[in-house]
């Protein structure tokens, strides 16, 4: 199995920091795996749990941008939705701290409340009338609303660009599924949404600090090597069945003949670090999902988590070189 990867950024104007991170991801693939953890709330109980148990922190931290969606329908939202939004507010303060003070890797997930037509948790297709297939057509009201939301998020991302902080940017995640509005109209529409955002953010907003992460294992609808730096997929295996996920890796790399950095965008349990150290399946990083996936033993036991973070093959925050 080849470990060499195409590390030329898809954005020809990508920052030196982006180039450094991509090169590092390429260099460590098959030689180690970056530990990652998603945090949904500003309390970041996941990081506290990991540090208290292991004495270490993940090298990569994921931050949720759902509360920064410009068009949340507060008037028609249930209690669970309102709590989720409230607990997520100001999470960017944590992202700034992680980047500037911890010097860890940053990745953003955006559960995007649809540009209009939504109720409650409006990122779910069942909770919105917004039509992604119309949003990719220039001149429609859906397209105009899409661009407006994109521009609002670009304004949030721009300060990170100004400070030369590289961001692993994973928009329209899980596009293979129909549960989110951006995937509900099929992979071709999701592909076009991503391509529109890439063009808008790269050629209009000049967000040259973004590392573009595609997040779907489907050959159909792959966005193209010219707009993807990393290919990834989300997995929620059976509880406590840790493995190297070779089968899932082999499926994912079929979406392009080009060698790309490959990652586990989200996962319910930590992969088997021990197996990976033996088989060298070149996942560059994994990011365990937030809440009970991390802070209980329902998916990964305390012993399993401790052993993973103390394995020589695991790249924790203390092992991460200064990349920006």
For the cut 90, the answer to whether the pLDDT of residue 4 exceeds it is no
Predicted pLDDT at 25: 97
**In Å, what is the CA distance from 294 to each residue of 20, 83, 267, 272?**
29, 20, 10, 15
Phi, psi of 269 (to 5 degrees): -125, 160
**Which listed residue (75, 266, 278, 298) is catalytic?**
266
Q: Which helix (H) or strand (E) holds 93?
A: helix 91-97
Active site residue 266: yes
pLDDT at 33 over 80: yes
CATH number assigned to the domain comprising residue 50: 3.20.20.80
**pLDDT score, position 160:** 98
Domain span including residue 44: 16-319
Q: Is the pLDDT of residue 6 over 90?
A: no
Q: How many CB atoms lie within 10 A of CB 253?
A: 16
pLDDT value at residue 1: 42
Residue 167 belongs to what H/E stretch? strand 167-169
Per-chain mean pLDDT for the chain: 96
In a domain, 188, yes or no: yes
pLDDT digits (tens, 9 = 90+) for 230-279: 999 999 999 999 999 999 999 999 999 999 999 999 999 999 999 999 99
Q: Does position 170 have pLDDT exceeding 90, yes or no?
A: yes
How far apart CA 1 and CA 310 sit, in angstroms, is 26
* Helix/strand/coil for 155: helix
Per-residue pLDDT, 165: 98
* Tokens standing for residue 323: 């990349």
Q: Indicate the pLDDT class of residue 5, thresholds 50, 70 and 90.
A: low
Structural domains of the chain, count: 1
| Residue 126 covered by a domain | yes
Which tokens belong to 274?
A: 């021990």
- If pLDDT is split at 50, 70 and 90, which confidence band does 7 have? confident
User: Known catalytic residue: 176?
Assistant: no
Asked if the structure places residue 8 within a domain, the reply is no
Give the pLDDT of residue 206: 98
Q: Which residue of the set 126, 174, 188, 248 is catalytic?
A: 174
> Per-residue pLDDT tens for 38-69?
999 999 999 999 999 999 999 999 999 999 99
Could you give the CA distance from residue 319 to residue 324 in angstroms, rounded to a whole number? 15
| Rounded mean pLDDT, 194-212 | 98
Please tell me the distance from the alpha carbon of residue 33 to that of residue 54, in angstroms, as a whole number: 17
pTM of the entire structure?
Answer: 0.96
Q: How many CA atoms lie within 13 A of 85 on its CB side?
A: 20
Q: Which residue has the tokens 């499926």?
A: 251
> What is the tens place of the pLDDT at every residue in 70-111?
999 999 999 999 999 999 999 999 999 999 999 999 999 999
User: Rounded to whole angstroms, how far apart are CA atoms 307 and 50?
Assistant: 12
Mean pLDDT throughout 190-215? 98
| Residue 324 belongs to some domain of the structure | no
- Is a pLDDT exceeding 60 seen at residue 201? yes
């Amino acid at each position: 199995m080849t470990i060499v990867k195409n590390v030329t950024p898809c954005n020809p104007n990508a920052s030196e920091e982006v180039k450094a991170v991509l090169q590092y991801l390429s260099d460590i693939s098959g030689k180690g795996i970056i530990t990652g953890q998603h945090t949904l709330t500003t309390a970041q109980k996941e990081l506290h749990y990991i540090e208290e148990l292991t004495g270490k922190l993940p090298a990569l931290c994921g931050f949720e941008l759902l509360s920064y969606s410009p068009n949340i329908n507060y008037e028609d939202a249930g209690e669970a939705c309102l709590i989720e939004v409230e607990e997520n507010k100001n999470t960017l303060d944590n992202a700034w701290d992680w980047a500037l003070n911890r010097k860890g890797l940053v990745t953003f997930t955006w559960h995007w409340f649809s540009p209009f037509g939504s109720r409650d948790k409006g990122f779910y297709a069942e909770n919105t009338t917004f039509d992604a297939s119309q949003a990719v057509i220039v001149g429609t009201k859906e397209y105009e609303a899409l661009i407006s939301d994109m521009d609002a998020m670009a304004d949030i991302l721009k300060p990170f660009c100004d400070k030369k902080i590289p961001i692993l940017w994973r928009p329209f995640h899980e596009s293979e599924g129909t549960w989110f509005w951006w995937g509900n109209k099929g992979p071709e529409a999701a592909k076009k949404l991503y391509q529109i955002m890439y063009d808008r953010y790269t050629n209009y907003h000049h967000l040259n600090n973004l590392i573009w992460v595609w997040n779907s294992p489907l050959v159909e609808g792959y966005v193209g090597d010219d707009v993807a730096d990393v290919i990834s997929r989300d997995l929620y295996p059976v509880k406590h069945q840790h493995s190297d996920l070779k089968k899932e890796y082999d499926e994912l790399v079929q979406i392009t003949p080009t060698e790309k950095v490959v990652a586990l965008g989200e996962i319910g349990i930590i992969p088997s670090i021990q197996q990976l150290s033996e088989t060298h399946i070149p996942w560059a990083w994994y990011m365990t999902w937030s809440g009970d996936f991390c802070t209980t033993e329902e998916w990964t036991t305390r012993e399993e988590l401790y052993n993973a973070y103390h394995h020589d093959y695991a790249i924790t925050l203390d092992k991460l070189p200064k990349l920006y």
